[in-house]
Amino acid sequence: MAIDLQQIGKRFRFYTHLNELEMEDLKAMTGSNEETLSNIINGCNIVLDELVAIVKNFPDLNPQWLIYGEGSMFKPKGENGDCHDTPKNCLKKDKAAYLQQMKNMLIELDAAEVAKGHRPDVDALMAKLEEFKAKASEAE
Statement: residue 43 has pLDDT above 50: yes
Sign of the dihedral defined by the CA atoms of residues 88, 97, 127, 8, in that order: negative
Residue type for position 120: P
State residue 74 phi and psi, 5-degree precision: -105, 145
Q: Which of 12-16, 47-51, 59-63, 133-137 has the lowest mean pLDDT?
A: 133-137
Q: Which of 33-42, 43-52, 105-114, 130-139 has the lowest mean pLDDT?
A: 105-114
Rounded CA-CA distance 15/120 in Å is: 15
Residue 61: band (very low, low, confident or very high) from pLDDT cuts 50, 70, 90: very high
Rounded CA-CA distance 17/11 in Å is: 10
Question: Are the C-beta atoms of residues 112 and 118 closer than 8 Å to each other?
Answer: no
Which residue has better confidence, 103 or 23?
Answer: 23
Round the CA-based radius of gyration of the chain to a whole number and report it: 15
The domain ranges of the chain are: 5-139
In terms of Cα–Cα distance, which of 109, 69, 102 is closest to 86?
102
Give pTM, 2 decimals: 0.61
Question: Are the C-beta atoms of residues 22 and 55 closer than 8 Å to each other?
Answer: no
pLDDT of residue 13: 92
Statement: residue 23 has pLDDT above 90: yes
